[in-house]
Amino acid sequence: MIDFRSDTVTQPTMAMKEAMVSAALGDDVFQDDPTTNQLQRFAAEQLGFEAALFAPSGTQTNLIAMMSHCQRGDEVIVGQQWHTYRWEAGGMAVLGSMQPQPLELQDDGSLALEDIAAAIKPDDPHFARTRLIVIENTVGGKVLSPEYMAAVAELAKKHQLACHIDGARLMNAASRLATDHQLPVWQMARQLCQGYDSLSLCLSKGLGAPVGSLLLGSASFIQRAHRIRKMLGGGMRQTGMLAAAGLYALQHHVERLVDDHKNCQQLADGLWELTQHYPVLQGQIALEPVQTNILFCDMTPELAAKLVPYLQLQGVQLSGSNYSKAGTQWHRLRWVCHLDISSDDILYALKAMDNFARSYQGTE
């Protein structure tokens, strides 16, 4: 099965498994697991933060960050489509007692600076106190530029607010930007983080570890985060076996992210060519531009109802859902490339799409 549902489905490589089995272990609740400590030091040094904290998931590191920055009743400025607002089960409100202030995204995935500034509440007891700005990078595979990231950090500083990056796929953003700016990828990643108070970095998406995320920030911030992690049930014991996978991923899987980006562009180009070749597909499929490893493909629900089961039978697995745009119903398929998908897999998927289009055309 070629699994395009998400880059979370990656399996540990043999070398990663060997690193996990041979990892030196301790008790991370006592902060004496040597491999976990090594992972945290490595990430903090590479990304320009004082300290880091390993946790089970990005949902938890985001929540830990927000609860460490904010008190009950404080307000957090987020995007309508941010994971922190839409896809993390309302944890910031339910568990953190924080009020989200969601803003509409621009076409490039950013929040308009003027919208952020307008959402900051005055010092008035009628309002929740604005305390934190959250930015996500990448946003559905879209990359926010270092200039934009710096502008948001400067805006937060001007208004004496904290700012946090949900960087689940930050290294994908850094890889794309590093290519564009001809910089080493780690230098680009560090630049994206400059001026921010905290960062959540996922190890189990494109980087390919089986589990875990890191929260990075100042030493005092991470000290507060330790307490919140314990409160949320994120304190684990011999985490070195998991941390070893994350450390291996950071040391060996960052540079290869560009392969996923190339494969995703190859997929997008191939699908576009099919829509041009088969008139029956024209007007029924719309492709979003690719920047990193995620391709969104919109189609009519009628077409999707036939295509998705067909591809499943051919060994190509996808995720998708219906949505409405300008009064028209669409089905959005998400194709995510990752280290377990090769260029040959892309060619196989495109061949399956070609076979479907040929047979579909014959039924019209």
pTM of this prediction? 0.96
Amino acid 362: pLDDT: 59
Which residues, including other chains, have CB under 8 Å from residue 117's CB and lie 6 or more apart? Answer: 155, 159
pLDDT of res. 48: 98
> Which of 124-148 are b and which e, b meaning 16 or more Cβ less than 10 Å from the residue's Cβ?
eeeeeebbbbbbbbbbebbbbbbeb
Distance CA 24, CA 177 (A): 35
Structure tokens at 293: 């490893």
What is the residue-level pLDDT of the chain in tens, covering all 364 positions? 999 999 999 999 999 999 999 999 999 999 999 999 999 999 999 999 999 999 999 999 999 999 999 999 999 999 999 999 999 999 999 999 999 999 999 999 999 999 999 999 999 999 999 999 999 999 999 999 999 999 999 999 999 999 999 999 999 999 999 988 999 999 999 999 999 999 999 999 999 999 999 999 999 999 999 999 999 999 999 999 999 999 999 999 999 999 999 999 999 999 999 999 998 888 889 999 999 999 999 999 999 999 999 999 999 999 999 988 888 889 999 999 999 999 999 999 999 999 999 987 655 5
For residue 32 the two structure tokens come to 């004496």
Nearest to 265 by CA among 197, 184, 179, 207: 179
CA dist 318 to 11, 31, 169, 247, Å?
Answer: 17, 40, 20, 29
Q: Which residues pair with 324 in a beta bridge?
A: 329
Contact 36, 28 (CB under 8 A): yes
| pLDDT number for residue 190 | 98
Q: What is the pLDDT of residue 364?
A: 53
Helix (H, G, I), strand (E, B) or coil at 299: strand
pLDDT at 363: 59
The per-residue DSSP string of 86-107 comes to: IISTTHHHHTT-PEEEEEPPPT
For residue 324, what pLDDT is reported?
87
DSSP character string of 233-251:
T---SSTHHHHHHHHHHHH
pLDDT at 280: 81
Rg (CA), the chain: 21
